[in-house]
Amino acid sequence: MATCGGLLNLDRMNVHHRLARNVSRLRKAAGLTQEEFADRSGIHPTYISAIENGHRNPTIDVVERLAMALEVDPADLLATAV
């Protein structure tokens, strides 16, 4: 049986994976390269790549900047299906 800490860790991983997947998918749907998206969001292209690859855990402020650049609600970046 999983511990509460284990469940929280699993949930965090799922949210982290959803964020990475949604940012990448929505960026591509908007027709933006990572460089264009970086310019639009004011976030370094290397950091964008790391977010999309699940290697970075952005702050809520960064999530908001990503959402604004994609013209979506921040919740859309964390949603199971958008």
Class of domain 14-78: mainly alpha
Q: Digits of tens for pLDDT over the chain (82 positions)?
A: 344 555 455 455 688 899 999 999 999 999 999 999 999 999 999 999 999 999 999 999 999 999 999 999 999 999 986 5
Question: What DSSP state is assigned to residue 71?
Answer: T
Q: Is pTM beyond 0.75 here?
A: yes
Cα 24 from Cα 82, distance rounded (Å): 12
* Residues recorded for the chain: 82
Closest CA to 68 of 31, 33, 27: 27
Between CA 61 and CA 53, with CA 10 as vertex, the angle to 5 degrees is 55
